[in-house]
Structure formats: C-alpha cells, structure tokens
A and B are shown apart, each in its own frame.
Chain A
Amino acid sequence: MKKLLGIFGLLLAVCLFATWASESFRSGYNIENLIRRTALFGVLGIGVSFVIVTGGIDLSIGSVICLVGCGLPWLLTVQHWSLPAALAAVIAVSVGIGLAHGLLITRLRLQPFIVTLCGLMLYRGVTRGFTADQTVGFADGYKGLRVLATGKIPVPGIQGFEIPAPWAVLVVVAIAAAIFLNRTIYGRYLLALGNNENAARYSGINTSRMIVLAYVLCSTLAGLGGVLFVLDVNSAQPVDFGNFYELYAIAAAVLGGCSLRGGEGSILGVIIGTALILVLRNVVTLVTNHSNIEFAIIGAVILAGVITDELVKRYAIRRRAARELAQ
C-alpha cells in the first residue's frame, strides 16, 4: 500500500511539474490522449503482471500485438473475412500463443525468457511474411468497431474534455483482474507459487496449470491490446507495429509493485505505473522538444524509482528493528 502511495506521489509530482512547465500538457486534447494511451498500455501491463507474479516473463507481447494488429485488418480487407470471424480468429491465435508458451514452460521446463524471446522474433517475422511487409489498415471502413478505441464518453458539466472509450475497457479489465488476483483461490495460488512453487505444489496446487493460465491471460490481453491499438491508429506497419511494447508493459508492472522474483503484484499499481511512464514520455517531448532522449529519461527515472524503493525498504527494516529494541 505504501509502495502504491509512493509511485502515485511520483506520478502527481511529474504531472504538477508538467502542468507548470508546459502549456500544451494541460490542454484537454493532450490529457485525453494520455488517458487513452494509458488505457491501451494498461491492458498490456495487467496481462504481463500475471506472468511476472509467477516469477516468469513475457517478451513476446509487442510481437503478438503486431500479429493481431496487422492480422485483423489483413483478414478483413485483404482476405475479406467477416468481422466476427476475423475477431474470433485473432483472439483464438492470442489464446493459442499463450497456451503454447505455458505448455513449453511447464511441460518441457524451458525458460520463460527463451520461449518468449523466440516468440518475439517468430510472430513478427510471420506477420511480415503474410503481409509481405505491406502496411495494412481499415481505410474508411469499420467505423462502428473503431469507436472502441477512438470513441469518447462525454463528462457532464465539463467542456472540452471527454473520457476516451479505451478507458472503459481498461476499467472492466482491471476490475476483473483485481478480483481474480485478490478474491479467488486461483489468484492466491498464483501469488503462492510465484513465491515458492514447491510449497504450492506440496499443498496440492496444480502449479503447472496455474502457470499456463498466467501465460494465456498475458497473451490474450496482448491480443486485445493489439486489436485496440490498430483500431486506434487505423493502419499498421508489420515492421515496427508494437515494437518495444513488452518493455513498457514490464516496466510499468515493476514500477507498480510487481517483483520480478515473483509472488508480488497489484493491478492498481500497474495502471499507475503505466500512467507514469506515458506521462514521462509526454513531458519529455513537450518540455524538451527532443523526443529522441525519451528512452534515456524513462530509463533513468525507473532506475531511480527502484533504487529509492530498495533504500526505503532497508530504512524501514532498520527502523522496525530499532523500535523493537527500544521496547
């Protein structure tokens, strides 16, 4: 809880600084844009946090987004599939990818890093193959579906600001994920096995099945993200669509309190972490006009964040010990 407050405080501080430093930051348009991007990336972050909670990692998220994001318009406009069939196909492929990752990791005991690294190369390569590296898009069609990503929900009483539709998607996903993680026995199983897989297994938990489930959730949400991202931008280039998105997702999850050692995670934290990264990106672009140093700033801030977290943790342990001594 304290960790959440810390990261939320950091987000507030960055926002306050940006509001003071840049006129454009506080424009309704910019805020709407930030919220929409946070919602889209937040879905990915929630997905990967399930995998991280088990102590694993998924590096293939960006490529799954590429596969789904290019595959959907390709099926619709090049292959002329019906919308329900195309949507069902891309979601089924996402689920299948997660299932394959999970089974390779639990049955063959391959390392998550390797399995999903190969996935990273495989899915992008496949996409570039079947699209012949050509940009695919919806052109002027599928307006109804695109509302899911580009639509806005008016807020009564406020002019010039509307809530972007993906935010509603994120809220639904986040609530479902939080309930799953914190209220069901399966969420507890994930946390327990992430902390000590042996002890979980010795307690009668089918740990392999739970790990497979985590990878399926991750890839499925990456697939959902892919659909939303391509609906948002209308067209996608296979060569770089979704590039590096897994790193944003992983960084957001870690900033939000997931430990890469497993066993720890909070859905709200992941969303705040996502927002922090995107606001930082935004601020760098707006304030410095040098978007090319964006990665350097984000990297430095995340590093500073985890160092502070570690120092605060040590200080807390020392203070707790001193208090016990005083008693």
Chain B
Amino acid sequence: MPPVLLEARSLTKSFPGVRALKGVSLNVSRGEVVAVIGENGAGKSTLMKILAGVQTSDSGEIRIDGVPAPLRSVEEALGLGIALIHQELNLAQNLDVAANLFLGREPRRWGLIDTGRLRQEAGQFLQAVGLDVSPDTRVGSLAIGQQQLVEIAKALSTQARVLIMDEPTSSLSAGEAENLFRVIDDLRARGVSIVYISHRLGEVTRLADRVVVLRDGENSGELARHEISHAAMVRLMVGRDLSQFYPHQHHARTETVLEVDGLRTPAHPTHPLTFQIRAGEMVGLAGLVGAGRTEVLLALFGVQPAVGGTLKIGGQPLCAQTPAQAIAAGLALVPEDRKREGLVLGMPVRENLSLASLRQDQRRGFRDTAREETLSAEMIRSLRIKTPNDRQVVQFLSGGNQQKVVIGKWLALKPKVLLLDEPTRGIDIGAKQEIYRLMEDLADQGVAIVFASSEMEEILGMSDRVLVMHEGRITGELSRHQLSEEAILHLATGTASTASSAHPAHPASPDFHP
C-alpha cells in the first residue's frame, strides 16, 4: 500500500442554516482514484472546496505527507499540489489554449510574456493529457470534452499531485467521457491521485480504486475495489435498499396520440424523422450528446420550429410555430435546463406552478387568484413538493423539488403528450425515484411520455420503447424486450460492429449546446 498522501480528519463545516459537514474523514494515497459519492446535500461539494482551499473547515485536520496543512486559500492548496477542477469549466473562451494553461503564471522575459516558452511548455502538458490540438487554438472553438482536458492540463501544469474532479462527465458525450477515463488511468499510472465526484455510478465502477460514501454530512461507508457494486453504493448513499428502483410497468394503450411524419429540425434539416407514440406509452430517446434528441423535443414543442414535416396530436394536425400553439394542442415540455428554461427562479412556488395555466384559468384577462391558490396547494400535496409554503422563492428549493415544480406546472393543463429532456439531471437518488413514479402515474392515466436521457440506466429502466438517435437520424428502434446497453450503444454510435462502439473519436456536432 503506497503511503497516504492526503489525509483529512473529522472535518466540520457549518453554513448559516446548515451543518454541511459533521465530521468527515478522507484519505487519499499516491496514485489512487478515490470516488466520493453521495446524494445532493450530502456534503461532497463542501468537502471538495475545503480540500482545494476555497473554503476553510470549522474544525478538523488536514495533513499532506503527514504534515499538518491548514489550507487557507486556493493558492496555498495549489502550492501543496491540490487542484480542483470545477463542474463548470473556468476557462477564458476568448484566449488560446496556452494562455489559459498559464493564466496568471505566464513565463516572462524582460517583463513581457515569453510566448516561445509558453507554447512549448503548454505543448508538453497537452501531450500529457492526450489532447491533440495546437496551443494556439482558441479555447472557445474546442468541444467541451477537449476543454475539460485543457482544465486537467492546467491543473497538471501547477505540479498537482491530487486532482479533484467534480462531476467531470456531466456535459461530455460517451466518447469524450471514455477518453477522459483513459487520461485518468494514465495519470493514476504516473502516480497522480484523483478524487472523483460523480452521480454516475457506472463511471465510478469503471474508475474507482475505492469509494467513499457521504450521507448527510458524515461518512456512511467505504467500499474497496472488489466491494464496489451498484447496489452497495446505493445502499450506503440512501441508507436503505432501493428494491425495484425503476417502478416501470406497461401502460401503453392502442390509440396513437402523437404522429410525427417527416419532421425536419433546423439543426438537421436533411434528416426527416418519422415516429408514433401511443397513449400511456413511455418512449426513451437515447443517443450521444449532439445526436439531436433535444432538437427533436424543441421542434415538437415549437421552441425551434420544424422546417418540414407534419405533426398530428390525437389525429389533429398541428403546426407548432410557438410553444403556445404546442401547449394548446396538448403538448408539454420539461426542458433540459430547469433553471434557465423551466423555472422563473426569483418567483415563488405558487407563481411558478400557475404560470402555464394562467391563460386557461383567466377571467377576462384577470388572474383567478383563488384557483391559483388551490392549484398550488394541490400540486404541492400530490407531487409531495418539499417547501415551507407556496410563497417560498423556488430558487431555494432542492433540485428534485424544483423539477417537481416544473412538472407540476403542466399537470393542470392535462397534457396528452409530456416531453421530458433529461428529467433527472442533477437531482439526488431519492428524488429521482419520485420523478420516475410520477412519470409512471401519468403514463397510467394515458399520457404519452417521450423522454430524452443520457443516463443509460434510466433509458433501460423506464422505457417501453427506445428510439436511438445518431447525428440527427433515428438509427433504430428497440422495444422493451430488445433493450440492452450494447444494442443502444451500437445504434447510438452509428457503427457497424459493437466492438468499435468504444471508439472515442466522436466529435460533437456543431449544433451541440452545453
């Protein structure tokens, strides 16, 4: 066993209103990949920020190479070889790669930037992370996966010995993620330690030498390499067995609700799409990032109107040029980014819940305030939205409860088709299951559900049928009994053989929006 490099003992940290850490310990040895997992609010982010010097702990001790190291600032942490790579990348999009790598630490000559040395040193670190671009490339022109590697190269250039990665794959395609995993393997082999935070248990299983599980600000357990399994991790995260995690049942009826014929999205106008969805059916849209799933949902909902094709809902033709028309026809969309598209963050829960149905419930232009009140009370009860009251500003709710508000907004309109884009992104396991139950209930009531998801387990667990997309086309359709990870990946990568589906060289399409 290599010596312990970083040792954190009984760290505590309180914020106004929360005890984020109640005594958490973490050891990291040289060349070890330690995954830290836990539900939202378990204390992962706080722990990482303390280790990286962004915040200081209230009590507890941090030792590096056995020497007490009070990490009071980011500079101090970097000086001791600990670097944090944030979930949201912190790169100057307008500068080139080399300038970003050495931002604030530029090699100088006569007081001016020594561009020759800058380029040369940048080149070395880019090579170390296997990123094959010129140091002169503008960062803004790189794909997200490549930008991630620039961040890692930047951390390495500070002589980091411990890299903390916070949800590094959250915006990567499968190919880019696989490439990142290989870089991590390589770093591990070279003795760099990695603290890896992720919601995606599949990745953790793939990468981790050891898993540290946090729950409610405390260590809830640890799994050695041979003990790591999906079930074991979930048990430690939520403190109970989640038997039947996916509550899927078959609800599909015979009548077709949504008929899409030759739909052409603005992003992929040369690929007409044709498919049908039946009442009560739950259809997953699978594919890599940039495959065009979101674009299909946005075209159906009239946000980015289709440039061709016909659409029928319940047999009635619909020309969705605006969301208002789509909503009137019985469509509803739970968008990909709930904070930017789903919620008016600065408004209370009640106002958000009633926003879509104000028009329907109006009395000659006036709001029906009584109806608003009963509606929000009803939704909070039936969706079990955890909020002190419906005057609470929605920004202060947890991710899962925010997502319930987005869904609740549509229920009063009784949609015929519910479109969901990444319905459980960034929400914790307990809330995830509640969202799944909700989708099940709606399907049971005959609502046709189309959901796009990047989480393989979600697609496998929740779909009656899966449409797989690749570069704007539907490359295949799988019914429930045909579903397997291999079959989906095979279609999603558009490759002839399953073996080559692991190929990482999958550039994100130009229409990719992070």
Contacts and interface: CB of A to CB of B under 8 A. Distances in A.
Interface of A: 183-186, 188-189, 191-192, 195-196, 198-206, 263-264, 317-318, 320-322, 324-325
A183 B347 CA distance: 16
Contacts of A318: 16
A263 B346 contact: yes
A202 B303 contact: yes
B110 interface: no
B476 to A, nearest CB: 30
A318 B351 CA distance: 26
A191 B327 CA distance: 21
B344 A199 contact: yes
27 contacts: A184-B365, A185-B366, A188-B351, A189-B358, A192-B344, A192-B351, A195-B344, A195-B347, A196-B344, A196-B345, A199-B340, A199-B341, A199-B343, A201-B323, A202-B323, A202-B333, A204-B323, A204-B326, A204-B327, A204-B328, A204-B356, A205-B355, A206-B322, A263-B346, A321-B15, A324-B18, A325-B16
Contacts of B343: 196, 199
B355 A200 contact: yes
B355 A203 contact: yes
Contacts of A199: 340-344, 355
Contacts of B290: none
B16 A324 contact: yes
B359 A202 contact: no
Interface string B301-313: 1010000000000
Contacts of B340: 196, 198-199
A185 B362 contact: yes
Nearest to B327: A204
A322 B16 contact: yes
Given A192-B344, A195-B344, A195-B346, A203 B365 contact: no
Contacts of B303: 201-202
Given A192-B347, A321-B17, A325-B17, A202 B365 contact: no
Contacts of B87: none
B232 interface: no
B43 interface: no
Contacts of B335: 202
B367 A321 contact: no
B92 interface: no
B365 A186 contact: yes
Contacts of B344: 192, 195-196, 199-200, 263
Interface in B115-140: none
A317 B362 CA distance: 35
Interface in B360-411: 362, 365-367, 409
Nearest to B332: A204
B324 interface: yes
A203 B366 contact: no
Contact of A185 (B323, B346, B365): B365
Interface residues of B, number: 33
A201 B301 CA distance: 11
Given A184-B367, A185-B359, A185-B366, A198 B341 contact: yes
Nearest to A187: B367
A206 B358 contact: no
B367 A185 contact: yes
Contacts of A325: 14, 16-18
Contacts of A189: 358
A166 B15 CA distance: 53
Contacts of A201: 303, 323
A168 B367 CA distance: 27
Given A184-B366, A202-B303, 13 more contacts: A183-B367, A184-B367, A185-B358, A185-B367, A196-B345, A200-B355, A201-B323, A202-B323, A202-B341, A204-B324, A205-B355, A317-B16, A325-B16
Nearest to B325: A204
A216 B18 CA distance: 47
Contacts of B347: 191-192, 195, 263
A260 B206 CA distance: 49
A206 to B, nearest CB: 6
Given A199-B342, A203-B356, A188 B17 contact: no
A298 B343 CA distance: 38
B414 to A, nearest CB: 14
A181 to B, nearest CB: 11
A186 B355 CA distance: 11
Contacts of A320: 16-17
Nearest to A324: B17
B355 A192 contact: yes
B359 to A, nearest CB: 6
Contacts of A202: 301, 303, 323, 333, 335, 341-342
B367 A203 contact: no
Contacts of B351: 188, 192
A188 B367 contact: yes
Nearest to A201: B323
B368 to A, nearest CB: 9
Interface in B288-340: 301, 303, 322-324, 326-328, 333, 335, 340
A321 B16 contact: yes
A126 B327 CA distance: 45
Contacts of A322: 16-17
Contacts of A184: 365-367
Given A204-B359, A325-B16, A195 B367 contact: no
A198 B298 CA distance: 13
Nearest to B323: A204
A202 B328 CA distance: 13
Interface string B18-32: 100000000000000
Interface in B188-221: none
Contacts of A200: 344, 355
B332 to A, nearest CB: 9
A229 to B, nearest CB: 31
Nearest to B365: A184
Nearest to B361: A185
A206 B366 contact: no
Nearest to A185: B358
Q: Which of B18, B326, B346 has the most CB of A within 10 A?
A: B346
A325 B20 CA distance: 11
A200 B322 CA distance: 12
